[in-house]
Amino acid sequence: MRLALVTEGMIHRSLDDLMDWLDDRVPEVRDLEIGTGGYSPLGHSPLRLSAAGRRAWHSRLTARGFRIAAFNVSGNPLHPDRAIARRHDRGLRRTIELAADLGVDRIVAMSGCPAAGPGRSAAPHFPANAWLPDYAGVAAWQFEARVRPYWEDINALASAASPDLRICLELHPGAHVFNVESYLRLNSVAPGIAVNLDPSHLFWQRMDPLQVVERLGPLIGHAHAKDVRYDAAELALNGLLDSRWPGDPRHIPWDFAAVGHGVNDRAWWKSFAAALAERTSARFLSIEHEDRLVAPEDGIAGSAALLSAAGGSSRGAAKPIETP
């Protein structure tokens, strides 16, 4: 697995400054995951440039020994607010054009989350637990009326743009597609849509990323490197569904952590990297810094050092929630 970097964590630096910093501090990272819309900032993106400007932008990176691992356009193109939905949908479609133009074959996205039904909400509704009668049937309506037709169309668009291009949906709570079951339902009607596996979103759902790799195999087209940390006292009282997130990272049940600052040690990351290399179509393990207790420069450099040292083929299971 090649190490990459989601550049959003360093959006406070220009792209040239970021490459200078990587040359100096993290030379093992030569591949970049660039935000191109949705919830991703555009500070490093060539999306608004002309065709000639995009190629010049790309040539500037490759001349310095860098390449593009993926474009990231994670958003909600199914948002009930039509202005938001149009903006995120436009970003995704333009990113497909951009990727095809520059020969980039991975786009990271999210499935989106619609309303609960016709006239039922002006906000997205995430139907993760439907045991109360008010929530019954919401997920089925969303899939058939919104998720399925949209992603069938995007699947066809991406296939026509480039036969090698794969849109990799992050299994992210809050989006309609967030676990294995919801992804396989979509994959059955849009087989060109793959998975971006970010283990941090699985840990706090009590999922095992290694078992997900075993189940999905080559349907996983990209991966992120990010961990979580838990506060045992808060967890005991408020559980994993506590609504204060993001809140104060020092006083909530869980939060994202840089690799090396979370619940999993180097042995687990070695197992994860080996499983990705052996069983999936992912070529990159892309460091995504969202640790609010660690400076980005320190978190990225430390993550890269640990992951570089974790190369190998041993296996293991995800660690359980630990008490400090």
186-191: long-range contacts at Cβ-Cβ below 8 A with a sequence spacing of 24 or more? 186/111, 186/143, 186/147, 186/148, 186/151, 187/219, 189/148, 189/151, 189/152, 190/148, 190/151, 190/152, 190/154, 190/155, 191/155
What pLDDT is stored for residue 191 in this prediction?
96
Would 319 be classed as within a structural domain?
no
What pLDDT is stored for residue 319 in this prediction? Answer: 44
- Over 70: is that where the pLDDT of 175 sits? yes
Backbone φ/ψ region at 217: left (φ over 0), alpha (ψ -120 to 50), beta: left
> What's the full length of the chain, in residues?
324
Q: What is the pLDDT of residues 179-217, one digit of tens each?
A: 999 999 999 999 999 999 999 999 999 999 999 999 999
* Burial (0-12, 13-18, 19+ Cβ within 10 Å), 322: exposed
Alpha helices in 26-73 (DSSP H): 51-63
Helix (H, G, I), strand (E, B) or coil at 8: helix
User: For residue range 260-304, what is the model confidence (pLDDT) as tens digits?
Assistant: 999 999 999 999 999 999 999 999 999 999 999 999 999 999 999
9 within a domain of the structure (yes/no): yes
Question: What's this model's pTM, rounded to 2 decimal places?
Answer: 0.94
The answer to whether 75 and 125 have CB atoms below 8 angstroms apart is no
Bridge partners, residue 33, by sequence: 6, 70
Omega within 30 of 0 (cis) for the link into 249: no
Residues in a beta bridge with 256: 228
Contact 107, 99 (CB under 8 A): yes
Amino acid in position 69: A
* Residue 6: inside a domain: yes
Q: How confident is the model at residue 62 (pLDDT cuts 50, 70, 90)?
A: very high
**What's the number of domains the chain is made of?**
1
Concatenating the DSSP letter of every residue in 244-313 gives T-SS-TTSSSEEEE-TTSSS--HHHHHHHHHHHHHHSS--EEEE----TTS-HHHHHHHHHHHHHHT-S-
E strand or H helix at 234:
helix 232-238
Looking at the chain, the number of H-run helices and the number of E-run strands are 11, 10
Asked if residue 140 belongs to a domain, the reply is: yes
Residue 2 carries which DSSP code? Answer: E
In a domain, 63, yes or no: yes
CATH number, domain at 37?
A: 3.20.20.150
Check if the beta carbon of residue 266 is closer than 8 Å to that of residue 306.
Answer: yes
For range 242-261, the mean pLDDT: 92
The tokens of 200 are what? 């941090």
What pLDDT shows up at residue 245? Answer: 80
Q: Give a yes or no: residue 322 inside a domain.
A: no
Neighbours of 199 (CB within 10 A): 26
Averaged pLDDT, 78-102:
97
pLDDT exceeds cutoff 70 at 322: no
Q: Is residue 323 one of the residues assigned to a domain?
A: no
Q: Range of 208's domain? A: 2-309
Q: Mind listing the pLDDT tens digit for each residue in 18-47?
A: 999 999 999 999 999 999 999 999 999 999
Please name the residues in contact with 163: beta carbons below 8 A apart, sequence gap of 6 or more: none
